[in-house]
Amino acid sequence: MIARRGVVVTGASGMLGRAVARALAAGGTPVRTLQRSPSGLVGSGAGDVEDVRLDLAAGSPSALVQALEGAEAVVHLAAKVSVSGPWLEYRRTNVDGTERLLEAARAAGVRRFVQVSSPSVAHAGDSLVGAPAGPADPAGARGRYARSKALAERAALAADSPELAVVAVRPHLVWGPGDAQLVARVVERSRSGRLPLLGGGTALVDSTYVDDAADALVAACARADRDDVHGRALVVSSGEPRTVAELLASLCRAHGAPAPTRSVPAGAARALGALVEAAWAVRPGLGGGDEPPMTRFLAEQLSTAHWFDQRETRRLLGWAPRVGLDEGFARLAAAARG
């Protein structure tokens, strides 16, 4: 049985989930992780961590309630993260999974719930320049992932109540050592010469080093029931926007990969993305790999600004990044060297 003040972290097998679980445990909080595969933290010296292996979307409701029994708070990271794949899969994991988890949390008497979301839930493709966290907009969100996360965030915030305080936190572009998502793909694409800059790569983007994002989620978990915090959606980033070109170059350099230099016009990339998406709908795998070489979403992400006003987030969470980009890149390089 988990201790009374413990926290359940879903999706702890991913980079950010693992970092959250580790940070919580390091602070003396008993942690129970919840996902299909082992978190890799049990017995690793990370502290009081236990794994419960469960498929949020498929597990029985009672098993879910039982998994949350006695927990004070839930940090919900588990999600299908990709740029392709059928809508039903996104819906099942990201929307249905979240709704089931919220239901179980209520039933289990959980008091605080951190919905880990994404700035893309409020991004309709235009430039975000020092932007506040807009409301989640499933209709305007680009791509299936963003749409499903927008629905999930809405469901989570709708569940905010005196019994269960819910806050949505949207870490932006999280990267760090062991990242199978952003970093690995960027480096792999760069090595194979498939990482063009769009429009010269001068769009300014925010990003977040993984430990800083984890700290922010831990802070949100602690403060979720404060009057000025619950029911809110907060974007989290390092607050150090960089041009796409510089960010990609820094990620590549940390891995000894060449920085992208070739630039294609952003409009052409978007058109190409649309074409590839259409082609993949008929013949998945076209062009090699398990993901399309370009999508409209990716083209937009690489060619429009998206950086955020962090003042409110920092004030409400009482949090500020401890690592930051420069130190983050150094740690990335150290990890890459092994």
Partner 1 sequence: MRGAPLPPRSPAPSAPDVDLSALPGVDPRWSRTLEAPASDGTRRTWHLLDGAGSLDGQEPVGTVLAVHGNPTWSYLWRDVVAAGVAGDADGRRWRVVAVDQLGMGLSDRRPKEGGDLWRLADRVADLGALVDALRAEQPDGWPPVTGPLVALGHDWGGVVVSGWAGEHPDQVAALALTNTAVHAPADAALPAALQVVSAPAAHELLTRRTDAFVRAAVSQVRPRPPADVRRAYGAPYRTTAQRRGVADFVTDIPWRAGSPSRPALERVAAGVSALGRGEDASPALLVWGTEDPVFGERYLRDLRERLPRADVHRVEGTGHLVPEDVDLGPLLLHWLSVRGVGDGAAAGPAPAAPVEGRPRALWAELEARSEDDSPAVVEMGGTAGAAPAVLSWRELGHRVAEVAVGLHERGVRPGDRVSLLVPPGADLTTALYACLRLGAVVVVADQGLGLRGLTRAVRGAGPRHLVAVEKGLVAAAALGWPGQRIGTGRLGALGARLCATTLPEVAAAGRRSALGGVDGGPAAGRPTLATLRLPEPDARADAAVLFTSGSTGPAKGAVYTAERLAGMRDAVAAAYDVDRGTALVAAFAPFALLGPALGAVSASPAMDVTAPATLTATALADAVAAVDATVVFASPAALANVVATGGVLDARARTALSGVTRLLSAGAPVPTALLRRVGELLPSASLHTPYGMTEVLPVTDVELAELAEAADEVEDGVLVGRPLAGVDVAVAPLDASGGATQQVSREPGVVGELLVRAPHLKARYDQLWVTEDASRLVETDGDRTVVWHRTGDVGHLDARGRLRVQGRTAHLVRTAAGVVTPVGVELAAQSVPPVEGVGVARAAATGVGPAGTQALVVVVETDPPTRRAAGAPAELVEAVRDAVRSVPGRPEVAAVLLVPSLPTDVRHDSKVDRALVGAWAGERLAGRPVPPPWTPGGRLRGLLPRGRR
**Least distance between partner 1 and beta carbon 163 (Å):** 35
Alpha carbons 32 and 168: distance in angstroms, whole number? 20
Q: Cβ of residue 202: shortest distance to partner 1, in angstroms?
A: 4
Rounded-to-integer distance, Cα 331 and Cα 222, Å: 27
Sequence-separated (6 or more) residues with CB below 8 Å from residue 245: 197, 200, 201, 202, 259, 260
Q: Cα(260)–Cα(94) distance, rounded to whole angstroms?
A: 33
Return the beta strands (E) in the chain as ranges. Answer: 7-10, 31-35, 49-53, 73-76, 112-116, 128-131, 165-171, 174-175, 197-198, 204-205, 208-209, 233-236, 242-243, 263-264, 306-308
User: Which residues contribute to the site for partner 1 (CB under 8 A)?
Assistant: 127, 129-130, 198-204, 239-243, 245-246, 249-250, 253, 259, 265-266, 303-305, 307, 309-311
* Residue nearer to partner 1 on the CB measure, 74 or 266: 266
Residues marked active site are found at 145
For residue 196, the Cα-to-chain-centroid distance in whole angstroms is 24
Q: 331 is written with which tokens? A: 């740690």
| Smallest separation, CB 59 to partner 1 (Å) | 42
In whole angstroms, the minimum distance from the beta carbon of 312 to partner 1 comes to: 10
Question: How far apart are CB 14 and partner 1 at their closest, in Å?
Answer: 29
| Residue 166 bridge partners (DSSP) | 113
Does residue 33 contact residue 12 with C-beta atoms inside 8 Å?
A: yes
